[in-house]
Amino acid sequence: MSKPQYQLTLAGENALMLYFDQRIDPTISALVQQACVLIRAELAADLIDVLPSYASVLVMFNPCRTDHFRVQAQLQHCLAQLQNRDSQSGKRVELPVYYSEESGPDLALIAQTKNISIDEVIQRHQAISYRVYAIGFAPGFAYLGEVDPLLQMPRLATPRAKVPRGAVAIADRQTAVYPAQSPGGWNLIGLCPTPMFNPDASPAMPVSVGDEVRFVAIDKAEFLRLGGELQGVEL
């Protein structure tokens, strides 16, 4: 198998960017995940933070302890160990979802647009296991991909001012659970009672980049039993 290709670029006075092939792809995401592990081990206390995304890693170091040249050499050294692998090394996480027109106000629109039943939308959303490609936008907001081509919907022309906490949503090839109430332009299909970000819990998030997520339908009673709330749905 060929060696993985990457590119190192300056980002700032104490930051370097590691770029892989710029596409959303599980094999690229696996490289990002491997690189983060290698970089943390290699740079250790010289690191300030490592920030993975779809096909890049931002490496921030302490400029009082090291510099670009040393970090660049260390990165080249440790990244020589990168391997192309398809294997999934993240956790598998199941997230319960109460899918309904009550909890997912855009279900009907997706069904109508794609000329399938609401039940089929719900079935297809659960049928795939999704990869956590990136976490950002807000604490605990995990970008999951890729969505069944038949469910892919563009973002709303006008974002909603308030999307409730726990909203399960689709935008283009991605799906996500809103960790807190916020504005948002994604298509809402259900509600998840599992907190996606709890600063008082350890870990604060049920998922991290590279994990595999499956959604499992639950009914309203189960949703409420698990601590879900419907009152936030004012759309």
User: Which ranges of 48-148 would DSSP assign to H, the alpha helix?
Assistant: 68-79, 107-114, 118-127
The minimum distance between CB 141 and another protein, in angstroms, equals 6
Residue 217 binds to another protein (criterion: CB under 8 A): no
User: Which ranges of the chain would DSSP assign to H, the alpha helix?
Assistant: 26-43, 68-79, 107-114, 118-127, 220-225
Dihedral, CA of residue 138, residue 192, residue 170 and residue 89, to nearest 10:
80
Stretch in the footprint of another protein (CB under 8 A) among 46-54, 148-156, 159-167, 183-191: 46-54
Residue 224 binds to another protein (criterion: CB under 8 A): no
Residue 23 binds to another protein (criterion: CB under 8 A): yes
The minimum distance between CB 181 and another protein, in angstroms, equals 11
Residue 24 binds to another protein (criterion: CB under 8 A): yes
- Spatial separation of the C-alpha atoms in residues 22 and 7, rounded to whole Å: 11
Residue 229 binds to another protein (criterion: CB under 8 A): no
- Spatial separation of the C-alpha atoms in residues 30 and 87, rounded to whole Å: 8
Stretch in the footprint of another protein (CB under 8 A) among 9-17, 80-88, 155-163, 164-172: 9-17
Residue 127 binds to another protein (criterion: CB under 8 A): no
Q: What share of the chain is helix, strand, coil (3-state, %, to 5)?
A: 25, 30, 45
Stretch in the footprint of another protein (CB under 8 A) among 87-95, 165-173, 199-207, 220-228: 199-207
Q: Are strands 92-99 and 212-217 parallel, antiparallel or unpaired?
A: parallel
Interface with another protein by CB under 8 A: which residues? Answer: 9-15, 17, 22-24, 47-58, 60, 63-64, 67-68, 134-141, 143, 180, 197, 199, 204-205, 208-209
